[in-house]
Amino acid sequence: MNKSVITITDAEFETEVLQADQPVLVYFWASWCGPCQLMSPVMNLAAATYSDRLKVVKMEIDPNPVTVKQYQIEGVPALRLFKGYQLLQSTEGVINKEKLLSLLEQHLNNN
């Protein structure tokens, strides 16, 4: 059980996300992105709250162009929720804690 957000790269994406045993929330961010600073505590909260049934990872977009292109990340912050090779949910822009938690509940309670 990992209760914190794990940093990953293009090379780790398949193993850490697509081959994971549980759903994975991928948080795409950039060091130059002001709104991304607002999302970090929300991501940490999601990781701590759902650590028993969700893995939360983050990927910086600039050093990882392959995944960014593959999943059409057009702006940051962006979120992609995966279960296996299936993309369940996708958002762009800042979302607040309540919206994120309700979005996760919707998917995690269907398991």
- Give 30-46 pLDDT, tens digit per residue: 999 999 999 999 999 99
Interval 11-39 mean pLDDT: 96
pLDDT score, position 110: 58
Complete DSSP assignment for 38-90: HHHHHHHHHHHHTTTT-EEEEEESTT-HHHHHHTT--SSSEEEEEETTEEEEE
Catalytic residues: 33, 36
15 pLDDT more than 60: yes
Comparing CA positions, the residue from 72, 95, 93, 89 lying closest to residue 24 is 89
- Whether this prediction's pTM lies above 0.85 is answered by yes
